[in-house]
Structure 1
Amino acid sequence: MSELLHVFALATALVGAGSLILIPRGVGLPEVAAGALMFIGMADAMTLSLLPPVVWFAVMLPAALALAARCRSPRGSEASAGAGSAVLTGHLALGLVSTAALILLMTTIAPDAVSAPGTVAAPDAHAHGGGAMMPQVMAGAFGLGAILLGAIALRTERSWGHRLHHATMASSTVAMSAIVIL
């Protein structure tokens, strides 16, 4: 089941990143770069793991902050007025934050998911009282937040390219959340 969710999350992230290029009015380079960064980070974290998840978090979080600052600054909003919407830019910034956090949360389940029968679990793999369910609770919050923000964005945007991007981004986030929860 987890493998299917990984494939689904990557496929929808790829469609979402690709749809940014196809939006009729065009999207700014920072937005396209954010979509590509999310897909590349997810692909690496779910397949090869060339970079540790904490590095992806350290790259995605400042990128999200820069994108959000661009959306909020008067000069940045003038520059992006013809390039896209503030809803899209804000949604991408939040997407970077949730993707970075979910990549970290997926590593909290990795030892149990990949340990073969007869192997010994890592010393820190035991439950820690009341906080043992925290990764699943956080992942659930990210998944529900993605559904809520995606629905708001779908109602706000009129372009089919925008709608496709918001729907695929939300479904990718929900799939990543389900990987952590299940």
Structure 2
Amino acid sequence: MRILTQFVLALTALFWAAAAQAEVRVTFHSFDGSVLFGRYPHTFISMEGTLEDGTPVKENYGFSAKSAGPAVLAGPVKHIVMTEKDKYVRSTNRHFTVAVDDAKYHDIRREVFRWRDAPGKYYDLDTRNCIHFVGAIAEMVGVKVDYPEKMLRRPKAWLNHVTAMNPQLGAAQID
């Protein structure tokens, strides 16, 4: 009987240890970019880790205009939720990371899909751009966010601002 009890306790301990290791880390990225050369400045999130059932997670999402051009300056345009290649993700500024449980992970994915599936022209450079998308997700994970007008087209400066507003993150500003 004693051996059975020890076995059950050991099995329970292993189960709880495995559950404790199950978490998804949401990282908030910016990319400096260049208006004249290559890609525009951008912000997006990545999610990596393991769900409680052992499912691995490795995803990233950013919100953008479906195509770049002068129409972006004139008002709402067609939008896209895009994913980045690993090579690009590795070259970005990683501002801070927040661990989330399975329920919050699924909430974030639903929010991503709401933005992706919004009808019509949903991207607006001043009111619904990549910063607003990332800000919505940041708020979902308990990060305080605001949107100073002078930062609405400066993702790295905006994420540095959010970092400064949230000392509990233990993150440093990125030069």
- TM-score with structure 2 setting the length: 0.29
Structure with more strand by fraction: 2
Which structure would you say has the larger RCO, counting Cα contacts within 8 Å and 6 or more residues apart?
A: 1
Work out which of the two has the higher radius of gyration on C-alpha atoms and give 1 or 2: 2
Structure with more helix by fraction: 1
